[in-house]
Amino acid sequence: KKIVHERVFPKREAVYTSFPDRMLPELRAFLERSGISMLYSHQGEMFDRAMDGENVIVTTSTASGKTLGFLLPVLQEILTNPAARAIFLYPTKALASDQFRSFVPLLEYFGPSRLQAGIYDGDTPSTERGRIRSSANIVLTNPEMLNATFLPNHGSYGFSFFFANLKYIVVDELHSYRGAFGSHLANVMKRLGRICRYYGSSPRFLCSSATIANPVELAEKICGRPFSHVSRDGSPSPEKRFYLWQPPTARGTEFRVSPAREATGLLARLVRENSPFLAFCKSRNAVEIVLKEVRDKLREAAPGPGGRDMASLVSGYRGGYRPLERRDIEEKMASGRLRGLVATNVLELGIDIGRIDTAVLVGFPGTRASFWQQAGRAGRKGRSASVVLLLDNLPLDQYLAIDPEWLFSGESESAVVDPDNLFIQ
């Protein structure tokens, strides 16, 4: 009775392509050793376009292997020219540290004499910063650090060599740089371009974005270069079921129960059924309320097998946690020691937290682009997945109950930046 609409998206098979002819044999050997005998079509297309000297933006779905798509042309350059440098820009520190984990097998395979990488952000110790400046081929950082540390100190030891040999700038999750944030980044990129020209370098850009209406326009405005677009997704996708859930009216009133209260019962049931889930709330406060209510419900119920406290199987995830706390939660979720996370949209970005069977959206997130990003977190490991949108007592949420086609058939919104806005400048 509470489900007002159900939509099934069928399974999509992968489209593969063989390794590009221009790929170095040692890079092929690494991929084959990692169990990869062919690339997804968009990874191969991205490699070829980068080798042709193009700036590329890719807009394939979540968990489609975009990181490998970036890495292959960057690695090709570094293995050919050991002095080459690359910047990987991420909107959050948590995403940078998560992505660094996927670099570890590469670093071990090629060894420190061929390839070095490091995270350069506010949590990086000063001794490690020195090593990264002088030796790292790949630096993972964020726009704030680029603005506050890299650009003002371009003439300092390590930085001048870095900028003179900068070959690639990778911008992940480009769609998150919109509005004032994106406008600031566009101006930082102008400054970066001037410094690179001063040192005689002309780096190419590789960007990724969620599905938005104007990815090429956004990339060109932020990076100040012409871009080509890779949009045909070659990765497989499992069957996905979408449910729009209308909370009932509160007893004796015409007002509907809040989606946060509805979520507590659903999430407690998912924990008991051993179905890994990720629940998105719109605020930190909502995360703590839903988390407390779910734990209370689980404590009231019968204990799990062996008298286990099932309340400990669900955790929160939001801004404000210390880096060690965040990493501990991510590791527990990825290893299966947690069955669910209640999070803000900080997990909307591509942090890998293992298998997720169900994504629960506590209220419509405000844009179709965010809806598809959050929904894309479920089913990343190839299993069929469910997405439940709990409708809030707000006009847009209630409109979705009347016209779900607006959500499922409409195009995602445009991302708007205005770097020439005088207040921003």
Place of tokens 């071990």: 108
- Residue 307 pLDDT: 61
- Residue 367 pLDDT: 87
Give the global pTM. 0.88
- Residue 12 pLDDT: 87
- Residue 110 pLDDT: 94
Burial of 337 (0-12, 13-18, 19+ CB in 10 A): exposed
Closest CA to 12 of 234, 163, 193: 234
- Residue 382 pLDDT: 63
Across 117-130, b (16+ Cβ under 10 Å) vs e yields bbbbbeebeeeebe
Average pLDDT over residues 281-294: 93
- Integer-rounded Cα Rg, in Å, for the chain is 23
Strand partners, 240: 9, 385
Mean pLDDT of the chain: 90
Long-range contacts (CB closer than 8 Å, 24 or more residues apart) made by 308-311: 310/271, 310/272
pLDDT score of 302 more than 80: no
pLDDT digits (tens, 9 = 90+) for 151-205: 999 988 789 999 999 999 999 989 989 999 999 999 999 999 999 999 999 999 9
Q: Which range is most confident: 213-222, 304-313, 372-381? A: 213-222
State both tokens at 177. Answer: 């740089």
pLDDT digits (tens, 9 = 90+) for 98-135: 889 888 999 999 999 999 999 999 888 888 998 999 89
φ/ψ (deg, to 5) at 353: -120, 30
pLDDT digits (tens, 9 = 90+) for 31-63: 999 999 999 999 999 999 999 999 999 998 877
Cβ proximity of 264 and 294 under 8 Å: yes
- Residue 117 pLDDT: 95
Count of Cβ atoms closer than 10 Å to residue 410 Cβ: 10
**Alpha-carbon span 139 to 6, nearest angstrom:** 44
H helix runs in 34-91, sequence order: 41-51, 66-80
Quick one: CA dihedral 317, 381, 105, 59, positive or negative? negative
pLDDT tier at 308, thresholds 50, 70, 90: low
pLDDT tier at 353, thresholds 50, 70, 90: confident
Cβ proximity of 116 and 140 under 8 Å: no
Average pLDDT over residues 395-408: 93
pLDDT digits (tens, 9 = 90+) for 240-286: 999 999 999 888 788 889 999 999 999 999 999 888 999 999 999 99
DSSP letter assigned to residue 61: P
Coil, strand or helix at 114:
coil
- Residue 49 pLDDT: 96
- Residue 345 pLDDT: 84
Quick one: CA dihedral 39, 44, 50, 56, positive or negative? negative
pLDDT score of 214 more than 80: yes
